[in-house]
Amino acid sequence: MPRLTIQGLREKREDARREAAARQAHLKGKIAIHMGTCGNAAGARGVRTAILEELDQRGMTRDVRLTVTGCAGLCSREPMITVEMRNSPAVKYGDLSAEKVRKIVAEHIVAGNIVKEYTVGIGSANGAPDIPFFKKQVPLVLRNGGVLDPERIEDYIASDGYAALEKVLLSLTPEEVIDEVMRAGLRGRGGAGFPTGVKWKVCRGEKKNPKYIVGNCDEGDPGAYMDRSLLESDPHSIVEGMIVAAYAIGARRGYVYVRSEYPLAIERLRSAIEQAREYGLLGDRILGCNFDFDMEIREGSGAFVCGEETSLLHSIEGQNPEPRQRPPFPAQVGLWGCPTVINNVETLANIPVIVTRGADWYSTIGTPTSKGTKIFSLVGKINNTGLIEVPMGITLREVIYEIGGGIPGNKKFKAVQTGGPSGGCVPASLIDLPLDYESLKQAGAMMGSGGMIVMDEDTCMVDVSKFFVQFTNDESCGKCSACRDGSEALLEVLTRITDGQGQEGDIEFLEELGQAVKDASMCGLGQTLPNPVLSTLRYFRDEYVSHVAHADCPGKVCKALIKYYIDPDKCPGCALCLKNCPAGAIQGSTRHIHIIDQAVCTKCGECLEICPPKVSAVVKLSGKQAREMRSLDAPIPASEWKKRRSEQAGTGAVQ
Amino acid sequence: MNAVERNSSVGAAMVVGGGIGGMQAALDLAGAGIKVYLVETKASIGGAMAQLDKTFPTNDCAMCTMAPRLVEIGRQKDVEILTLSQVEHVQGRPGNFTVTVRKRPRFVDEAKCTGCGTCVSNCPTRNQVQPLESAPVELEPGRRQAVTDILARHRNRDGPLMPILQEINAAFNYFPETVLQYVAEQTGYPLSHIYRIATFYSAFSVVPRGKYVINVCMGTTCYVRGSQRLMEKIGDMLAMQPGETTPDLKFTLKSVRCIGCCGLAPAVMVGNEVYGKLTRKDVAGVVRKYQEAS
């Protein structure tokens, strides 16, 4: 493959489009299998084999085009496929298995009848499936996710890929590119929300050379995986964003730092870089212009702190991956002492969109201070788990109830945790909060990388903040004592509280210490680690108080404060829980009311889970209820209990 | 005091005591462009820290903290070391001190000595330990070839240490001690630095690990959906605790912080393979699959 010039790229795009159209003409239909990491984990490979076999048996391999694409966003319904027959809308099927796809091939592909019971959504006129999950989204960055084959550069080029690079090289000076990005109002998508254009301008203004551009895909926040999906489904948009950024700041070399937990993302990005190099989009004299740039992947090795920019740079250099004091900022003194721009990969993926469609258009999306769209990963206690791309300023209500489809099991929505271990909780009372950098910050949370963990009434907020502090305590690099020892002390007190050993003054101590850690830590990890504690204290102080003062866990989560109890009125004596108790704590026999031996019970919750929903005899109790709970001394026949019950009906209640 | 006097400070500083604190102070001052006299009463700098193994409370290796500073002081032209010396008298005021130092004799002209050690070997009364020459690192031929190949691939690369270590970790599944020594010898990175990196990242290990590393995701979503219980189940099946390796070197059980499969929580990753939406029964099946695999 000869290296392309600008003219060559245009011809290539025309060719690819013509080819696609020609293919379209004799194809009966297309099937896209969504094979991201989550799709594969759910069994997409088996689905693919089944489709291939089925098509092969029917001799239809030439009539139907099978493509492998990245994630379609709705992770809870994986494995998914999209079937698009000629002259009919695209249909998304979910929760598939080999048998189900065989049926789909037989009925939809061959006979043309949509298999209604497996559908997730049917495409409307403008393409998006007709369910709220897709309708409310504005896919800019994820526009190619689940549509294009990430391993084929031709597909990307055909859908206006590398058009931004073409435009930049043909008609814009680096200063104009920076100006465009500044006017678009793009802010960093990694968390802090620093204006991208300003960062670039500072770096360009530095006299020292060489300059570097680094894409940060060390996505360590638990519950956030948009960067992974982006790399898996549309790696070329990152490559293009990197090249344009390099052009703007004057860099000749770039790195993408990807965490090693994402092997598929690394593989797809690597193949994208190789293809781009082959096409003359990377290397010397890009597209025949006087501009050289090349990039490589650097892998992390499992350290959360490496997501912090100075620590990330140290890791690339092979130094101790500990953060350092800023200023000087990396844009001034970065990789090997040279000016370096570090952008989150989601930020970089926005660049081609801004350049091709223009800053004026881009800045119409979003709020006055937060422009564009943001990808959130909607996870936790929510019906539609998945990745969503929505305009900034959308309300939490729309996200949770319309896109997310509400909370499963008719439970009450309690709070949403945004920004991972650095963020905070937004309580249900702020459900109409617009999602943008400022509003979230004001509410005590932060945008962070966009993880959004939904919690229902069964969640204990003290336990949640303990979980996050445990995480940051584990991941603290130990360089500065405020973070190292502060997280240790916070964890100690939180553990004490969840163990039911809370003392008077603990809550005030958490507040004071949290503030101190915030003020005294050097890098972002330490400065934000008390956020989960402080924000839950702000909105759910009563939960802390009830743990400490009343030994009551309102979410019924903290093991030390709860007891499992079998309601004799409901227990039919089916012995299901008895057989499944791993600790052997349940006594009884068939047709006998079971009782739980509290001394043996490990509170694993197996009995609660196994008890059939229509019986639901097992309940969790906490606080006063747990203390005053009286169970039977020994298992008795269910009939015996009924008799006792009716005898006592007149004299008083039994407990 | 008049204005002239106030401004007439001299551009030099004296650090008294050549222990770890004194060394760091001298380096910081020299780094700021100030000429430093480092006074030490013993025959060499280093102080008490040189005698320690670990330091409280962080358990940092004392020699690892000290050694780079010793080397740097030796190289730093702005630091003049006065050994066997004691401060007798200090006069003046901040910015302009005059210090009297008594230097005891070493009986060797420090200006001319090259540190060749001939006097030691020729001394008729010598009974001291001789400085050893470091022996070249012995490595089994198979390993040597693998490591040499990896090193060759990254020879002309910027910041090669991480990629080198990642490849070695992938090749041997852990860092054998001799391999790290060999890498230090070949690349010129101090062994202490390599150890620092090798022990920082959770994906690296300095003890042997199993063929299959089972990573149970403990990210928020998986945690909330019961990944702790998957961990317990696997631990029960393989009779091991998290962080351990089975004696036959087949399995290592670990927790990992989010593998980004929150839509499929709880998830477990074995090698590079991800399994989602697992129950305890499912996970038993997954483990069995690998137990049966050779």
pLDDT band of A37, cuts 50, 70, 90: confident
Phi–psi pair at A654, nearest 5 degrees: -105, 140
Do residue B219 and residue A223 have CB atoms under 8 angstroms apart?
A: yes
- Over its C-alpha atoms, chain A yields an Rg (Å, rounded) of 28
pLDDT of A419 strictly over 90? no
**Across chain A, what does the average pLDDT equal?**
90
Q: Looking at residue B106, what is its pLDDT?
A: 86
Question: Nearest CA of chain B to the CA of A603: how many Å?
Answer: 12
pLDDT digits 0-9 by tens, B17-38: 999 999 999 999 999 889 999 9
3-state secondary structure of B253: strand
Torsion of CA B226, B231, B237, B243, to 10 degrees: 180
- Put simply, whether B208 touches A (Cβ < 8 Å) is no
End-to-end C-alpha distance for chain B, whole angstroms: 86
CATH architecture group of domain B11-106: 3-Layer(bba) Sandwich (3.50)
pLDDT band of A126, cuts 50, 70, 90: low
3-state secondary structure of A43: coil
pLDDT digits 0-9 by tens, A574-593: 888 888 888 888 988 888 88
pLDDT of A645 strictly over 70? yes
pLDDT of B130 strictly over 60? no
pLDDT band of A188, cuts 50, 70, 90: very high
Q: Looking at residue A316, what is its pLDDT?
A: 94
- Of B89, B76, B70, which Cα lies nearest the Cα of B19? B70
Residues of A in contact with B257 (CB under 8 A): 220, 222, 302, 304, 471, 474-475
Tokens of A168: 């930049």
**Alpha-carbon span B40 to B23, nearest angstrom:** 10
List A residues 433-452 in contact with B (Cβ-Cβ < 8 A). Answer: 451
pLDDT digits 0-9 by tens, A219-276: 888 888 899 999 999 999 999 999 999 999 999 999 999 998 899 999 999 999 999 9
pLDDT of A572 strictly over 80? yes
Do residue B274 and residue A78 have CB atoms under 8 angstroms apart?
A: no
Residue A54 to residues A27, A68, A88, A262, Cα–Cα distance (Å): 17, 17, 22, 31
3-state secondary structure of B291: helix
Per-domain boundaries in chain B? 11-106, 141-200, 212-292
Question: Nearest CA of chain A to the CA of B73: how many Å?
Answer: 20
∠A239-A245-A251 over CA atoms, to 5°? 100
What is the mean predicted confidence (pLDDT) over A616-625?
89
pLDDT of B6 strictly over 90? no
- Put simply, whether A469 touches B (Cβ < 8 Å) is no
- Sorted by sequence, the CB contacts under 8 Å of residue A187 that are 6+ apart come out as A193, A194, A195, A196, A370, A371, A437
Do residue A261 and residue B258 have CB atoms under 8 angstroms apart?
A: yes
Residues of A in contact with B256 (CB under 8 A): 261, 302
3-state secondary structure of B285: helix
pLDDT digits 0-9 by tens, A463-495: 999 999 999 999 999 888 899 999 999 999 999
Q: Looking at residue A111, what is its pLDDT?
A: 86
- Of A44, A40, A42, A28, which Cα lies nearest the Cα of A105? A28
- Put simply, whether A380 touches B (Cβ < 8 Å) is yes
Q: How many CB pairs under 8 A join A and B?
A: 139
pTM assigned to the model: 0.81
- Sorted by sequence, the CB contacts under 8 Å of residue A21 that are 6+ apart come out as none
**Alpha-carbon span A355 to A163, nearest angstrom:** 9
- Put simply, whether B265 touches A (Cβ < 8 Å) is yes
- Of A583, A654, A568, A556, which Cα lies nearest the Cα of A618? A568
Residues of B in contact with A453 (CB under 8 A): 220-221, 224
pLDDT digits 0-9 by tens, B155-213: 888 889 999 999 999 899 899 999 999 999 899 888 889 999 999 998 899 999 988 99
- Put simply, whether A553 touches B (Cβ < 8 Å) is no
DSSP states of A123-188: B-TTSSBSSHHHHT---STTTTTTTS-TT-HHHHHHTTTTHHHHHHHHH--HHHHHHHHHHHT-B-
pLDDT digits 0-9 by tens, B210-261: 889 999 998 878 887 788 888 988 998 999 999 899 999 899 999 888 887 8
3-state secondary structure of B70: helix
pLDDT of A655 strictly over 50? no
**Alpha-carbon span A340 to B159, nearest angstrom:** 15
∠A158-A164-A166 over CA atoms, to 5°? 85
| Closest residue in chain A to residue B192, using alpha carbons only | A320
**Alpha-carbon span A450 to A439, nearest angstrom:** 14
What is the mean predicted confidence (pLDDT) over A530-548?
94
Q: How many CB atoms lie within 10 A of CB A588?
A: 23
Domains recognised in chain A with CATH numbers? 20-130 (3.40.30.10), 153-362 (3.40.50.11540), 373-459 (3.10.20.600), 462-550 (1.20.1440.230), 563-648 (3.30.70.20)
Residues of B in contact with A75 (CB under 8 A): 261-264
Residue A369 to residues A268, A351, B284, Cα–Cα distance (Å): 34, 18, 51
Query: Do A372 and A231 contact (CB within 8 A), yes or no?
Result: no
Q: Looking at residue B225, what is its pLDDT?
A: 77
pLDDT band of B127, cuts 50, 70, 90: low
The helix or strand, by DSSP H or E, that contains position B13, with its residue range, turns out to be: strand B12-16
Q: Looking at residue B4, what is its pLDDT?
A: 44
Superfamily of structural domain B212-292: Glutaredoxin (3.40.30.10)
Q: Looking at residue A127, what is its pLDDT?
A: 60
> What percent of chain A has a predicted confidence (pLDDT) above 70?
98
Amino acid at A164: A
pLDDT of A63 strictly over 60? yes
Domains B11-106 and B212-292 share a fold: no
- Of A491, A564, A565, which Cα lies nearest the Cα of A529? A491
